[in-house]
């Protein structure tokens, strides 16, 4: 695989050319209603198509939240499959937010679902949980490298409940999250320009209080509806802020269904991120 084909290279290039932003596609029932749509498969399809058409040719990363599609069973998954293919065709990287985590043998099936090139849900990257043990992720980590894809591993999540688990002290006195971050750094060692293993670290944390030097991307959800702003990023991420992929879902989606409104919101967030990172 050439350097250009690695996930790290593709992500870096997308962020440099399109701006440092991930927009989440989270079709909440309340958003469907606010857009004048019904909370049914037709509404889901219209919402998703509008968002992809408005943003896939300009934002670096689109992150569909699988749960909102799974709600509708197989017909919802069909909408998701189409959205992934169309977003990728328009040049966006697709990060499937599925937060999968299971024993290794089952993780192998998830890896095939999202990271094998001939799968109907093939995406550029997927979110996973390491809290069944980092080693349980091995099939996804290996499949990602084979396919030139990325894996975003939950480390310090944006929700307040996460700390109970993630900040607990593990063997050797490190926090459990730090143990996971250290595994990620080991996976990414030597990769240029960035490794394929990303960490998820909430922008809401105030100060991450962890060593985020993993030589990989740092997905930062929590901007917008959960209260964080791009200006918070330098404080949370310190020197690692240049590897941050800030993520906004409702903060952009609430500006729909008008495509111009969605685009303007995404551009505004990307501009604010650029300013915050430049000033850092």
Site for ligand OMP, rule CB under 6 A: 24, 26, 65, 97, 127, 157-158, 200, 202, 221-222, 224-226, 247-251
Nearest approach, Cβ of 139 to ligand OMP (angstroms)? 19
- CA gap 93, 178 in Å, rounded: 27
- Nearer to ligand OMP by Cβ, of 24 and 43: the residue is 24
**Whether the Cβ atoms of residue 21 and residue 263 lie closer than 8 Å to each other:** no
**Which of left, alpha, beta for 238 (phi over 0: left; psi -120 to 50: alpha)?**
left
Nearest approach, Cβ of 190 to ligand OMP (angstroms)? 26
- Nearer to ligand OMP by Cβ, of 7 and 279: the residue is 7
Other beta carbons within 10 angstroms of residue 168's beta carbon come to 10
Strand partners, 25: 64
- Nearer to ligand OMP by Cβ, of 215 and 249: the residue is 249
The pairing of beta strand 61-64 with beta strand 218-220? unpaired
The end-to-end CA distance of the chain, in Å, is 34
Residues 6+ apart with CB under 8 A from 258: none
**Catalytic annotation present for 254:** no
State the sign of the Cα–Cα–Cα–Cα dihedral 69, 118, 154, 84. negative
- Nearer to ligand OMP by Cβ, of 3 and 165: the residue is 165
**Backbone phi, psi, residue 46, to 5°:** -65, -45
Nearest approach, Cβ of 118 to ligand OMP (angstroms)? 25
Catalytic hit among 63, 82, 99, 117: 99
Nearest approach, Cβ of 4 to ligand OMP (angstroms)? 26
Catalytic amino acids?
A: 99
């Amino acid at each position: 695989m050439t350097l250009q084909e690695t996930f790290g290279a593709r992500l870096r290039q997308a962020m440099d050319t399109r701006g440092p932003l991930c927009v989440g596609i989270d079709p909440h029932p309340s958003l469907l209603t606010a857009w004048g749509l019904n909370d049914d498969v037709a509404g889901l399809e219209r919402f998703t198509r509008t968002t992809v058409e408005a943003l896939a040719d300009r934002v670096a990363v689109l992150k569909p939240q699988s749960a909102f599609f799974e709600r509708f069973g197989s017909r919802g998954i069909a909408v998701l499959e189409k959205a992934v293919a169309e977003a990728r065709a328009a040049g966006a990287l697709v990060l499937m937010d599925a937060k999968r985590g299971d024993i290794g043998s089952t993780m192998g099936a998830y890896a095939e679902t999202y990271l094998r090139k001939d799968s109907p849900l093939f995406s550029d990257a997927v979110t996973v949980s390491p809290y069944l043990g980092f080693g349980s992720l091995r099939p996804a980590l290996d499949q990602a490298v084979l396919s030139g894809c990325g894996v975003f591993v939950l480390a310090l999540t944006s929700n307040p409940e996460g700390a109970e688990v993630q900040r607990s002290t593990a063997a050797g006195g490190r926090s459990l999250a730090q143990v996971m971050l250290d595994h990620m750094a080991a996976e990414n060692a030597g990769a240029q320009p960035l490794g394929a293993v990303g960490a998820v670290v909430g922008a809401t944390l105030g100060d991450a209080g962890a060593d985020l030097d993993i030589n990989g991307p740092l997905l930062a959800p929590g901007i917008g509806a959960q209260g964080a702003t791009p200006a918070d990023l330098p404080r949370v991420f310190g020197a690692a802020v240049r590897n941050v992929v800030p993520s906004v879902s409702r903060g952009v989606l609430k500006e729909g269904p008008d495509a111009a409104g969605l685009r303007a919101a995404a551009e505004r967030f990307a501009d604010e991120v650029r300013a915050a990172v430049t000033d850092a």
